A and B are shown apart, each in its own frame.
Chain A
Amino acid sequence: MTTQTVDRPRTGLSRRQRARLGRGVQYAIGIAVVVLLAVKIDWATFSAAFLRSDILARMMPRVITVGLVNTLIYTALAFVFGLTFGLLLAMMKLSSIGPYRWFATAYIEFFRGVPALVVLFMVAYGIPNAFPGFSFPGGTYGMVMVGLGVTASAYMAETIRAGIQAVPKGQVEAARTLGMSHSRTMATIILPQAFRIIIPPLTNEIILLVKDSSLVYVVGVTADQYELTKFSQDFLNRTVNPTPLIVGACCYLAITLPLSMLVRQLERRYAKAR
C-alpha cells in the first residue's frame, strides 16, 4: 500500500495507464514490422512465382470438387471410425474387467507410438496379404477409413476417457440411485456431459485428421480419389510452380477455420448447461 502511494507521483502514471502504454508500444512495433515487410517485398516477383492466376484457373474447379471433397470425405470417414472405436476403447480402459483394460492400454500405446503413415500402409497392404481374398468394403474409402481411423481411435480413446473421468462421481451415483443401469447411466448421463468437456481437444484431433488425410497417397489412389495435397503436388509437378501449394493450403484453412468457429459456437451454447 505504502509503496504504491510513493510510486505513483514518481511516474505520474497509474498501473492501468502504464499497461495501456506498454500495449500501445507493442502494437506500434507490430505495425511497423508489417509495413516494412509489405514495402520491402517484391510483390511482382513473388506473385509471379507463388500466386499465378492462370494456374489457379487451371486448378479450378477440380481442386474443390475432387481435392477438397476427398479431403473432407477421408477426414469424416476416419473421424467416424476413430470416434466409434475410440469410445469402445475408452469404455474398455475404464472397465473393471482386467483383459479389456489390458487390451485397450496395449492398443492405445501401440497406435499412438507408431506413425500414422506406417499404420495406413500396413492396413492397405498388410491386411489383404494376411487374409488373401479379403477386400475392404467401399474399396479405397473403406481402406482409408480403417487405416486412418485406427490411429485416430487411439488418440480419441484417451481424450474420451479423460472426459468421462472428469464427470463428477456423484453423477453416476445419482443416476444409479434412480434405478438406471450402468449402460443407461453412461448413455444418458455421463457421455453427454463428457462430450461437452472434450469438445476442444476433440476438435484438435479432427484438425490433425484433416492434415493426416494427406497421407492417403500411400495406399495408391486414382486421380478421382486425390485429396488436396496429392492434387496440389500433381499440379506442382506439371507446372513447376509453387502456386498449387498455396491454393491447397488455402483450401485446408477453408476447412479448419469454419470448424474452429463451429466449435466455439457449440461451447457457447453448452456453457449454460454445465
Chain B
Amino acid sequence: MTNPTPAPIPPSTPDTTADATADATATRTTAISIRNLKKSFGSNEVLKDISLEVATGEVVCVIGPSGSGKSTLLRCVNLLEEPTSGQVFVGADEMTDPDVDLDGVRRRIGMVFQSFNLFPHLTVLENLTVAQTKVLKRSRAQAREVARHNLERVGMAHKEDAYPAQLSGGQQQRVAIARSLSMDPELMLFDEPTSALDPELVGEVLAVMKSLAAEGMTMMIVTHEMAFAREVAHRVVFMDDGYVVEAGTAADVIGNPQEARTRSFLHRVLNPMVIDASEITDEGVADLV
C-alpha cells in the first residue's frame, strides 16, 4: 500500500463474473434505492426519472458525457442536492422523507470529491479526527487510533502532521478517502476522484479504491477511468442527458454496448484521437451511430 501502482488490467471475463454478480446481488440487501428521481435547476431538468438500485457490497460505476447529470445523481443520494421529486433510500432510511435525521444518515455515507475538499486549516490527522470526536463523540485517543489505522490503509501514515497544502493531489485524495473511512461508512460515493489529478498520480488513488472494493465496500463511483470500471465495477451505468441509457455488467456496457449513445460516448472516450475537427459542432461532438 505504501507504493501503490495499479496492476495491469486483465482482460475481463464476462460470462463468469456476470453470473456471479447476478447471484450475489439477488441475495444481498439493498444499500441505495433510487426511485423515479427527478431534479431540476430552475427550468433545467437535469435528472429525468432515474431509478437505480445498489446492493450491499456492490460496486457501481456511473459513466457518461459531461453535463449528463452524474454528479447531480450522486449528490441526490446524500441529499447535497434536494431532489425535485422521487425517492431515495439509503439502507432502511428514506433520505427524501422531510423528517429523516439527515446528519445521522449522512455520517453512514462516505463521500469523496473531485477537488478533495480536505480542511486546509487542520493537519492530516485532525482532518480524520474532527468529525469522529464532534459527530460520533469518540474519545480523542480512540479517534486517533482509528485515524492512524485508516491512514495506514491508504499509505499516508507518514504524513499525519502535514497540512493538506503540503501534499500532492494524489496524497490529498488518499487522505480524503481515509477521512471518509474513519467514520466507518456503510457505503461510499466517489465523484470523479481522479479527474483533478496529474496522470501519474491517478494510479495510487485507484489502487486504494480497488482495495476497498476487494474488502467488500459498497461503492457508487462516477468516473471516466474505463479500465478501472471494467476491472472493478460489478455494474456500469451509462447516463446521458438525465437518463440512465444503459446499465449492466462492465463487460456488457463497456465491451458490448447496445445503445447508439453508449457506443458513441465510449468511442470518443476510448479513442480521443479519432475525432475529426469537422465533427465538432456547437453541441460538442456529433453522435457517431
Contacts and interface: CB of A to CB of B under 8 A. Distances in A.
Given A170-B115, A184-B135, A177 B120 contact: no
Most buried by B among A170, A174, A177, A184: A177
Most buried by B among A184, A188, A192: A188
B106 A174 contact: no
B174 to A, nearest CB: 15
A193 B104 CA distance: 25
B166 interface: yes
B109 interface: yes
Nearest to B189: A177
A270 B121 CA distance: 8
A272 B135 contact: no
Given A193-B121, A272-B166, A273-B120, A177 B103 contact: no
A176 B80 contact: yes
B78 interface: yes
A274 interface: yes
Nearest to B113: A170
A177 B180 CA distance: 9
A267 interface: no
Contacts of B111: 173-174, 177
A171 interface: yes
Nearest to B106: A179
Contact of A179 (B103, B119, B165, B176): B103
Interface residues of B, number: 29
Nearest to B136: A179
A181 interface: yes
A74 B120 CA distance: 35
B165 A176 contact: no
A168 B113 CA distance: 13
Contacts of B163: 272-273
Contacts of B165: 272-274
A174 to B, nearest CB: 4
Contacts of A91: none
A178 B121 CA distance: 17
A55 interface: no
A180 to B, nearest CB: 6
A193 B130 CA distance: 15
Given A178-B135, A178-B183, A179-B103, A274 B121 contact: yes
A274 B80 contact: no
A219 interface: no
B158 interface: no
Main secondary structure of the interface of A (DSSP, over half): helix
Contacts of A184: 134-135
B120 A174 contact: no
B40 to A, nearest CB: 19
Given A173-B80, A272-B163, A272-B165, A179 B117 contact: no
B234 interface: no
Contacts of B37: none
Contacts of A270: 121
A269 to B, nearest CB: 11
Contacts of B104: 179
Contacts of A179: 103-104, 106-107, 131, 135-136, 183
A173 B117 contact: yes
A180 B121 contact: no
A9 B171 CA distance: 51
A171 B122 CA distance: 12
B47 to A, nearest CB: 18
A52 interface: no
Nearest to B123: A273
B190 to A, nearest CB: 12
Interface in A153-187: 168, 170-171, 173-181, 184
B165 to A, nearest CB: 6
Contact of B130 (A168, A176, A177, A188): A188
Interface of B: 78, 80, 103-104, 106-107, 109-111, 113, 115, 117-122, 130-131, 134-136, 163, 165-166, 176, 179-180, 183
22 contacts: A168-B115, A173-B80, A173-B117, A174-B117, A174-B119, A176-B106, A178-B106, A178-B107, A178-B130, A178-B135, A178-B180, A179-B104, A179-B107, A180-B134, A180-B135, A181-B103, A189-B130, A193-B119, A270-B121, A273-B122, A273-B165, A274-B121
Given A178-B106, A179-B106, A272-B163, 11 more contacts: A170-B117, A175-B131, A177-B110, A178-B135, A178-B179, A179-B103, A179-B104, A180-B135, A188-B130, A189-B130, A272-B165
